[in-house]
Amino acid sequence: MLNSLTARIIVIIGVVVVSLGYLYQNYQETGDIVRLGLDLQGGMHLVLEVDDPDGTWDMEQRSDAIDRAERIIRNRVDELGVEEPIIQKVGQDRLIVELAGIDDEERAREIVGQTAMLEWKLVRPISEVEGLLPRMDRAVVLALGADSIRALGQDMEVPEDRVEDVLFGREAPAPEGEEAPVEEVAEEQDPDAVLDEDEMEELLAEEDDLDPGDVDVRPLSSLLLRGDQDGTFLVAEEDLPLLQQFLQIDEVQSVLPRNLSLQWGWQPIGVGARTYRELYVLQREAFLTGEMLEDASSNRDAQFNQPIVQFELSRAGGRRFSDLTGRHIGDRIAILLDDEVVSAPVVRSRIGARGQIELGQADMAEARDLALVLRAGALPAPLRIMEERTVGPSLGQDSIEQGQRAGMIGLALVILIMIVYYRVTGVLAVSALMVYTALVLGGLAALNATLTLPGIAGLILSIGMAVDANVLIFERIREELDAGRPVRTAVDEGFGHALSAIVDANLTTLITALILFQFGTGPVRGFAVTLAIGIIASFFTALYVTRTFYLIYLTRKKAADTISI
């Protein structure tokens, strides 16, 4: 008996020490004995939706895109270091992302929402575009001028087939009933003739009907400056919105050759006292994409001490990259992320499966984030943030305090009722309940589980269930004592006969908790995890810890003595 009792005490002490060890470790790492969820420590709540700007995807395509996006975002968030994030698909085209305890919300938002489409394209000479600028100027005048004429709301009515005549200064036909003017009809402008700003404004004016000042339009040649390297224009930062507006016009895009595209640099650069943005002339089709990327890591360039991202391609990607760089030594290759040029180095020699992306004036945090999203992969489609909520830590603290208050009140009532009703035996049950609480919290800490507000409710509920198992045992012991059994026999029979009922009750509740965890969402899962851990701890304390306390209590009593139950 003594050896058995000693072994039991050693097991209980060992389990409690391990639980307290996990709690202490969590406290050292996070400042809390268990990890707290979004509703308790604050954080971000995002609702993301697949962006299909053309509206051409059917429901199956949208569902497939959101499934792939869920896997990629989960990989990104895992590397971001957020504990127990909630990433959940809702409907066919939406994701809910909850990040508890996030410090840098802007950084998290960019990492989650960034498409991360990586491409390699050849840089072309700007001479292939400079000769087309006059045509592009006229396309700007035609598009913006027609819209402006109609938007002015003046008395002048311009039919659709007359817009070009008005804009390009052609003579209008005489109104019905009047003779045509004697002056010669103005000749049509040469489409390749270079326009200056005055000429462009004149094209927008028809006598006094349209004020050129109503339309902000300047020749593209005055907005585009030659960059230091061929293949790059420079655009003043203050002119950036205007030029972006021009380049988005369909008529302007139609002037560009089909094999060329104009892409912006990803960050401003300083030239003298002014800030510029680079505009690259690129081959439209990418010769390599991020689908062939296998790994990416951030580092610093040993020569210039600037942040870089080193990448490694697959075997097929390495062969393709090696072949192209071997044929374009001395040329520039642009590396694009989400249609913006991150860097455009000159090819000095043949490059194989390994290379690097130079980030210029960026800091190491940007390099690490870029490497992170590249490793996780590109999203199959852009995601729009449909809803964003930030839960402040003060709100979480209120929830913690209310949960603690509810738990303390419930625990105090349970202790009071157990001691009043079962007397000394109730004290044994309450002692076992203290062990139970340590085991539940230690289990949460060991599993790195997150405690949410519903989880606190599950914890309080499981305390009641732990006492319920003791009630079954105590009532069986009382029945055995009423039947005239000796105390030790009554205790052994009481634990034995209550075993099946306790197992059935705990097992059915555990199955319910597992179902809730499998099919539930965020807060429901938190409740299920806490409840499941509580059930297992309840079973252990009721049948092992409480019985051990009984054995300790009975070793101090004579066989003929009764127990206070």
Please say if the pLDDT value at position 264 is more than 60: yes
For 332, the token pair is 């520039």
Amino acid, res. 86: I
Amino acid, res. 176: E
Please say if the pLDDT value at position 29 is more than 60: yes
DSSP 559: T
What SS3 state is found at 420?
A: helix
Q: Which residue has the higher pLDDT, 195 or 292?
A: 292
**Distance, CA of 70 to CA of 58 (rounded, Å):** 19
Backbone angles phi, psi at 294, to 5 degrees: -110, -30
Q: pLDDT of 95-127, one tens digit each?
A: 888 787 776 777 777 777 777 778 899 999 999
Structure-token match 């109503």, residue found: 214
How would residue 134 be classed by pLDDT, with cut points 50, 70 and 90? Answer: confident
Express as a percent the part of the chain with pLDDT over 90: 8
How would residue 249 be classed by pLDDT, with cut points 50, 70 and 90? Answer: confident
Element (DSSP H or E) covering residue 565: none
Domain definitions of the chain by residue range? 2-37+393-554, 43-115+383-391, 121-126+267-373, 127-173+188-230+238-258
Write down the architecture of domain 43-115+383-391 according to CATH. 2-Layer Sandwich (3.30)
Q: Please name which of 421, 439, 456, 418 lies closest in space to residue 541, comparing C-alpha atoms.
A: 439
139, 252 Cβ separation under 8 angstroms: yes
Please say if the pLDDT value at position 447 is more than 90: no
Indicate the length of the chain as a whole number. Answer: 565
23, 34 Cβ separation under 8 angstroms: yes
**Distance, CA of 426 to CA of 77 (rounded, Å):** 48
Position 175 scores a pLDDT of 45
Please say if the pLDDT value at position 161 is more than 90: no
**Distance, CA of 227 to CA of 233 (rounded, Å):** 5
DSSP 123: B
**Distance, CA of 242 to CA of 236 (rounded, Å):** 10
Q: Please name which of 55, 88, 71 lies closest in space to residue 378, comparing C-alpha atoms.
A: 71
Q: What is the mean pLDDT of the chain?
A: 77
**Distance, CA of 222 to CA of 194 (rounded, Å):** 11
Question: Domain 121-126+267-373 class?
Answer: alpha beta
Position 365 scores a pLDDT of 80
Between the alpha carbon of residue 179 and those of residues 157, 159, 207, the distances in Å are 20, 21, 19
CATH entry 2.160.10.10 includes domain 2-37+393-554: no
**pTM, full prediction:** 0.52
**Distance, CA of 29 to CA of 35 (rounded, Å):** 10
